[in-house]
Amino acid sequence: MSWWKNNRRVLLGISGGIAAYKAPEIVRGLRRTGCEVDIILTEAAESFVSPLVLGTLSGRRVWRQKDFLSPAGGAQIPHITLAGRAETLCVAPATANTLRRAARGEAETLLGAAILATRAPVVLFPAMNEHMWDHPTTRRSVEECRAWGYGVVEPEEGALACGYEGRGRLPSVEVILEEIWRRLRPLPDLVGRKVVITAGPTWEFLDPVRFISNPSSGRMGFALARTAWYRGAQVCLISGPVALSPLHGVRHISVTSAEEMRRAVLAEMDDAAVIVKAAAVGDYRGASPSSQKIKREGQALRTIDLVANPDIAAEVGSRKRPHQILVGFAAETEDLRAHAEEKMRRKNLDFIAANLVSGEEGAFRRETNRVELLSPWAEDQVLAGSKDEVADGIWDAVVQRLSQV
């Protein structure tokens, strides 16, 4: 987990829709990182979720509509205090009525007044019947909210509580948390930049049931994609076969072989500011793959003729323009620095993240990583920690270089 997710202050507004039942899980997800979660529960929302449950999970007072103008708070003005404390304000679910009030700046409710008073990023998660979502009034409210600078995350398609099937479902808790993290990221320094990242292994089939590959899990590449999206980038992730779920907000391209990955990278690189080659691409493939399963009884498997795969990083390095940054990885078992420096020169890399893949520090299939980040443009540094933390360290160096080209 990245350091900046710890101990943040989130104001969660819950309005009166059936999707409010997901609110306790949102609170739990935020609390797992140590976030302080203040909650405003609208009067209608109390019909769907209990203040007692939310207060128990958050460990804090749950603010209700009856607290808005109550003298019980003394000199404390709830909507000003809550709005001022928050580092981000999210509303999940946001009903059609809540969207309308936010769009028009109506402040007759505690939640509406807090939205109007805060200077923190605001993100709204609409959830309603599909016909209500498609109504011109709702669409106008969404447009007006976005014009005010509020984030509006469109609902998902699927089965709705009302019995309809269509768009209107509150996004998953995981998606909601990712959107909150993006607003809490302290440095949105990749906004407007396209980045292309490769991840995972490649499979080179010898016959329909056998292939040459490696143990890469793709976690490092996915961490680079996730943290780049947090920082505001437009992310294209080109991934070999992995057992990881697609990342929210990231455009995925799935490939199998090294040649498929090469074609995808070359097709995406022209308008990219940064290309990161984090995939463990197979160096070789079978010279003559069989269209039928090679039988055990035969002699064919005793000797496998191999041919070299294209060197994607070297080809990108020869094609990239002066304003583009190319980051490579070197997975080595010995002479780490010497091999990494030679690869950086030969492939025209701006940075290379070199790590050992053998012994106790081996990076394959681990949640942590340790790399030496080398560059002709910056001082060498060692990055260690979770793969998200290592990825953030790489992006810090890349952003600094982008400011110079």
Residue 164 lies in a domain: yes
Model confidence at 75, in pLDDT bands (50, 70, 90)? low
* End residue of a domain, out of 139, 157, 184: 184
Q: Report pLDDT for 19.
A: 94
Q: Please tell me the total count of domains within the chain.
A: 2
Same domain, 243 and 380: yes
Q: Which of 33, 22, 34, 27 is nearest to 11 (CA)?
A: 27
pLDDT per residue as tens digits for the range 307-333:
999 999 999 999 999 999 999 999 988
Q: Which has the minimum average pLDDT: 82-91, 179-188, 260-269, 337-346?
A: 179-188
> In terms of C-beta density within 10 A (0-12 exposed, 13-18 middle, 19 or more buried), how is residue 136 classed?
exposed
Same domain, 180 and 253: no
Residue 265 lies in a domain: yes
Same domain, 368 and 288: yes
Better-scored residue on pLDDT, 264 or 363: 264
Same domain, 224 and 314: yes
Model confidence at 166, in pLDDT bands (50, 70, 90)? confident
Same domain, 101 and 240: no
* End residue of a domain, out of 184, 219, 239: 184
Q: Report pLDDT for 296.
A: 75
Q: Report pLDDT for 131.
A: 92
> Does the pLDDT value for residue 16 go beyond 90?
yes
Same domain, 286 and 175: no
Residue 324 belongs to a domain with what CATH number?
Answer: 3.40.50.10300
Better-scored residue on pLDDT, 367 or 110: 110
Residue 38 lies in a domain: yes
Residue 299 lies in a domain: yes
- Residue 139's domain spans which residues? 3-184
pLDDT per residue as tens digits for the range 231-245:
999 999 999 999 999
* Residues 177-200, mean pLDDT to the nearest whole number: 93
* pTM given for the model: 0.89
Residue 358 lies in a domain: yes
- Supply the residues annotated as catalytic: 162
Q: Report pLDDT for 326.
A: 98
Same domain, 217 and 155: no
Q: Are 110 and 65 in contact (CB under 8 A)?
A: yes
Same domain, 198 and 108: no
- Cα–Cα distance measured from residue 99 to residue 13, given in angstroms and rounded to the nearest whole number: 12
Q: Report pLDDT for 201.
A: 96
> Does the pLDDT value for residue 403 go beyond 80?
yes
Residue 189 lies in a domain: no
Same domain, 339 and 383: yes
Residue 82 belongs to a domain with what CATH number?
Answer: 3.40.50.1950
Q: Report pLDDT for 3.
A: 77
Q: Report pLDDT for 359.
A: 63
Q: Report pLDDT for 72.
A: 61
* Residues 38-42, mean pLDDT to the nearest whole number: 97
Q: How far is CA 182 from CA 4, 88, 176, 178, in A?
A: 11, 10, 10, 6
Same domain, 41 and 167: yes
